[in-house]
A and B are shown apart, each in its own frame.
Chain A
Amino acid sequence: MSLSRRGRRFWKEWQPWLHLPLLLFAFLFMMPILWMLSTSLKAPDDIVRDLASVHWMPHPATVANFQDVLGKVEEFPVWRWTGNSLFISLTTTALVLIVDSLAAFAYARLKWKGRDIIFAVLLATMLVPGQALLIPTYLLVRSLGWFDTYAALIVPAGAGTFGVFLLRQFFQAIPQELEEAARIDGCTSLGILRHVVLPLSLPALAALSIFTFIATWNAFEGPLLFTDSMEMRTLPIGIAIFQGRYSTEYGPMMAAATLAAVPVIIAFLLFQRHIIKGISLTGMAGR
C-alpha cells in the first residue's frame, strides 16, 4: 500500500513535466504550417533577405502574393478550382450519406437472402489498394462518356465501403424495441430509418460527413486522371500545376497552398470532436 502511494505521489510530481516534450513536439508539428503562412505574407526580397537566421515575421507583411495568385484568372482559375472542390465535396458527401445509410440499414437491421455473403464481399475489398483501381476506372469513366465531367469525380466515390461499415456499427447498437414499437404504429422500413434510426445516429452521420468532405476535398489521383481541362481541375491538382510552372516563386506558391489548406483546417477545427471520436470508434482514418 505504501509503495503504491509513493508511486502515485512520484507520478503526480513528475507528470506535469511531460508537457515539455509534448509542447516541443507540438511546436515541431506546427512549424511547417506557420512557415507556410509566414512565407505567403512575405515580399520576394523578404523571403531571401536573411538566410543566416530564421525570421518568422514578414517585414513588411503583404497580401501581394494572394493578389498575384488570385489575379492570374486566365492561367490559374483559382476561384473556379475552389468552386469545383466545394461542389464536388458537397455532392459526394450527400451521395455517400444517402447511399450508405440505406445500405447500412439493410445490413444492420433487415434480414434478407444473400445479406451475409454480400457483406463478406464488401469486407474483402478492404484489401484492394486504391491505386490498382485507377486504370480500369479511368477506362470505365471514358466509356461512360464522363471523362472531364463532375460525374467522374462524384459517382465513383459512392462505391466506398467505409461509410457502410461505420453506419452499420452504429445502427446495430440501436435497441430493437424502438424499431418494433414503430412497426406496430404502422411505420415502414423507410420510415423507421428516417424517424428512428437516423435521428439516433447523428454523431456517426456527422463523422462520416466530415470524413467524406475532407477526403474528397483532398483527393489527388482521381481528379488528376479523370479530368484534363483547366476548368474541371480541383484545388489540389491546381496547386500541383502551379508548382510545375512557378517552381521558384515561393511567395505565391505558399499563398496558393494556404488557400487550399485553410478551408479544411477550419472544417477540421470546427468538427474535430466528431472526427476524433469517429476515428477512435471505427479504427479507420477514412482515407
Chain B
Amino acid sequence: MRRNFRTHLTGWLFALPHLVLFTLFLLIPVVYGFWISLHQWHILATAHPFVGLANYRAALADDIFWIAARNTGNFVLMVVPFGNLVSLLLALGISSVKRGTTFYRALFYLPGVISIAVVAVLWGWLYHSQAGLINISLAAFVAGLRQLGLPIPPFTAINWLSDPKLVMPSIVLMTTWWTAGGNMLLYLAGLAGISDSYYEAACIDGANGWQRFRHITLPLLRPTTVFCLVISVLGAFQIFGQSYVFFSPGSGPARSGLTLALYMYQQGFNQYQIGYGAAIAYLLFLIVLVLTALQFLIFSGERRRAEAGG
C-alpha cells in the first residue's frame, strides 16, 4: 500500500511542472476566454457587466465580421489545395531522384524557418508594383516574348497588394512559399513508407508511370494526405501575421486583407473591446472544431466504404 502510494506520487511529481504550466497557460485560458466573451469587457474599464451571448449576436450581425469570415474562408479554400499540391509535387520529385535529396529537402524547407514578419516585409518588396522583383521579371519576360514577335499586349504593372481582388491570391502565393516545405517532409515520409514491391509487381503487370501513381502511390499515401489537409486547414484558419505586417493598422484595400484573427486583434487591442474580440476568437475556434470533426468523419466514412467495397 505504502509503496503503491509512492509510485503514484512519483508519477505525479514528474508530470507536475508541465501540468502546472499547462493548466495555467492552456487549460485556464480556454475556459477564461469563453468567460470573457460573455461580458462587455473594455480593456481599461474596471467593471465588466455580464451580457450573455450578446457579443456573439453582435458579431453575427456585424458586416465587417462577415467580410473577415469570407476572406479567411477564401484564403483557406485557396491555400490548402494549392499548398498541398506544391508540397506533393516537390515530394514526388525528390523521392524519384537518387542524388541531391538532402540538398532539395533542406532548400525547400528553408523558408519555413523564417519569421512571418520577415517573410511579409520581404514579399511586400517583391510585390512592389513598380520596383518589385516579380513585376520587373514579368515585364522583362513579356518584352522578350514580344521581341520574338508573339502577338501579346505589353505588360501593365500588376497591383498585387493594392487590387482588392489580388490581395488574397498574393497572400496565398507567399504563404505557400513559406509553408510548403513542412508538408513536403510529411509527404516524403509517407512516400518512403510505400514498399517497393508494389511498384515492382505493377511493372511486371505492365503498368505505366501514371497508372502506378494513380493506383499505388495515391491510395497508399491517403493517410498522409488526410493528415496534411487537416493540419493545413487548422493552420490556415489562424492567418494573422501576413495581413498584420502588410496592412497594419488597416486591413488592406476595401478590407480585402481582413482575416478573423486580425479582426479579433483590431477589436480587442485597437478598439479595446476585449469581450467582443474574445467572441470572435471563439467563433473562429468553433469553425475550426466543426471543420476538423467533419474532415475526420468524411475521411473515415470514405475509408469504411472503400473497405466494405474492396
A-contact 0/1 string along B175-187, CB 8 Å cutoff: 0010000100110
Secondary structure dominating the interface of A: helix
Asked whether A283 lies within 8 Å of B125 as measured between CB atoms, the reply is no
CA distance A29 to B107 in the complex (A): 8
Q: Which residues of A contact B205 (CB under 8 A)?
A: 3
Which residues of the partner chain A approach B282 to less than 8 Å between Cβ atoms? Answer: 132
> Which residue of the partner chain A has the closest CB to B86?
A25
Please tell me the number of chain A residues within 8 Å of chain B, measured between CB atoms. Answer: 106
Cβ contact within 8 Å between A287 and B107:
no
Instruction: Find B117's partner among A106, A239, A269, A275 (CB 8 Å cutoff).
Output: A239
Q: Are A135 and B27 within 8 A (Cβ)?
A: no
Q: Does A136 contact B (CB under 8 A)?
A: yes
Q: What residues on A are CB-neighbors of B245 within 8 Å?
A: 240, 243
From B63-71, B73-81, B132-140, B163-171, give the one contacting chain A: B132-140
Q: Give the chain A neighbours of B15 by CB distance below 8 A.
A: 102-103, 106-107, 112, 115, 118
Q: How far is the CA of A29 from the CA of B113 in the complex (A)?
A: 13
Q: Which of B8-35 contact A (CB under 8 A)?
A: 8-12, 14-15, 17-19, 21-22, 24-30, 32-33
Whether A112 lies near B12 (C-beta < 8 A) is yes
Partner of A111, one of B11, B227, B285: B11
> Contact: B18 with A140, CB < 8 Å?
no
Given contacts A52-B139, A118-B15, contact A257 B118 (CB under 8 A): yes
Q: Are B203 and A52 in contact (CB under 8 A)?
A: no
- Residue pairs across A and B with Cβ atoms less than 8 A apart, 26 shown, are A18-B93, A18-B97, A22-B97, A22-B100, A25-B93, A35-B122, A36-B122, A47-B131, A52-B140, A54-B137, A98-B17, A99-B18, A110-B10, A127-B292, A131-B261, A133-B29, A133-B30, A137-B29, A158-B21, A189-B14, A219-B115, A240-B245, A243-B124, A254-B122, A268-B113, A275-B109
- Top 4 closest pairs, chain A to chain B, by CB: A112-B11, A106-B14, A103-B18, A159-B25
